[in-house]
Amino acid sequence: MSIFDALLQSHDKQRGLCAKIMQTKGDTTKRRQLHQQLMLELRAHAQAEERYFYAPLMFHDEGLEITRHVMFEHHQLEDLLREIDALDYSHSKWLVKMRQVTDMVLLHLHEEEEQFFPKAKEILSELQKQSLAHQYWDEYHKIYDAA
């Protein structure tokens, strides 16, 4: 398994959770559970990805600019997540903010997969691709399991 396979697994999970949460209504147990799962998934993924995917790429001229852009998007998303965490699940703004989160996540994943991954595949060696996948999953599970 390469780092790209690992990241795509998490991306698919994020897409699925976004789709499910957008189908919920009001302050329900299902909405609360899906929201918590999505927040944990996004945070575990972002932290592990920044450490074991973006950081190694920042040492290459070809990866520096796009890595900065993608990490900036992570910080924008984190700000939006804090805003939604402050809202009541039944508040009308909650779904509006969740739509913003979903749109931002889906656009970010698309850009990453279509623009960043092809460049990163050229930069990283095969050994790095394999090694980073293991490091990513170790970090991801450490964060996920601690929650």
Helix 3-21 and helix 29-49: axis angle, to 10°? 160
pTM recorded for the entire structure? 0.91
* Structure confidence at residue 56 (pLDDT): 93
Q: Please say whether the beta carbons of 52 and 135 come within 8 A.
A: yes
Q: How many domains does the chain have?
A: 1
Least confident of 2-11, 21-30, 58-67, 104-113: 58-67
The 10s digit of each residue's pLDDT in 92-112 is: 899 999 999 999 999 999 999
Q: What's the pLDDT tens digit per position in 39-70?
A: 999 999 999 999 999 999 998 888 887 788 88
The parent domain of residue 121 ranges over 3-146
Q: How many CB atoms lie within 10 A of CB 121?
A: 13
What is d(CA 35, CA 56) in angstroms, rounded to the nearest whole number? 31
